A and B are shown apart, each in its own frame.
Chain A
């Protein structure tokens, strides 16, 4: 018996999908519905829900919730270093996913709509500064080349930061294209449009 950890996935021909179980499995046999908590301490509920979500992926974290001025609750999470590695390269989508699922579940448990902003390991706080810088560079580039510039996909909050950044500069404009995880800002010279085939918009 070898203790080899990498079972190098050898791509052979692709087998047709085989059903692993006869009947579809009833989800309730594997999971339970979280009970609604009346008069729940909403901050507590949100914090535990967020921690629980990460724990289910093997990520240990602590969450602290505080009320922001904008009416959103700020959920600040801290993880250990190992877990930070697991999220590397997809921090943004992990954070948005925690935010979205936590919102859905905590709303259900608390019986009241919760509006939250999640940050993990201060990533967003740090990246907001970098985002403005990046936007600045992109704006200059569009002004020089006169060509539209597609930025990387971002979540709504980040896109808003870029939109606001661009709105302050004359001669450039923004538009948003793509769906779901591909949704991204395009910086364009004022008055220009993005080619329709690139615009998989709504």
Chain B
């Protein structure tokens, strides 16, 4: 799963304007792993892409990686409201404090 997770992380941080706010939550549903991606509200469009192109491109690659791993990976982009509700805790504890200037 590491490869797939790293891939999602790599693409996500490189297509958004607020890479420091990208969070990924892997969810296990038995026969599939869902990567739930949370981004800054302004980046919602960038991670989804016009007509869903970026998210779908990510899904295609997850398929390819999944074929190697014999697993099924799927991608979900979390609603921004949801992020505000349940993901207030930033992960970087000590190291991130200096740069964490992007709060609303």
Contact = CB atoms under 8 A, between A and B. Distances in A.
| From B11, B33, B49, residue with most partner A Cβ within 10 Å | B11
A136 B56 CA distance: 30
Interface residues of A, number: 46
A63 to B, nearest CB: 16
Interface of B: 3, 5-15, 19-20, 22-31, 33-34, 36, 38, 49, 51-54, 56-58, 60-61, 63-65, 67-68, 70, 87, 89-92, 96
A179 interface: yes
Interface string A16-60: 111111011111111111100000000000000000010011110
A57 B61 contact: yes
Contacts, number: 148
A27 B26 contact: no
Nearest to A108: B14
Nearest to A105: B14
Interface of A: 6-7, 9, 11-12, 14-21, 23-34, 53, 56-59, 86-87, 90, 93-94, 96-98, 100-101, 104-105, 108, 179-181
B6 A31 contact: yes
Contacts of A58: 3, 65, 68
A179 B92 CA distance: 39
| From B3, B12, B33, B91, residue with most partner A Cβ within 10 Å | B91
Nearest to B46: A104
A53 B87 CA distance: 29
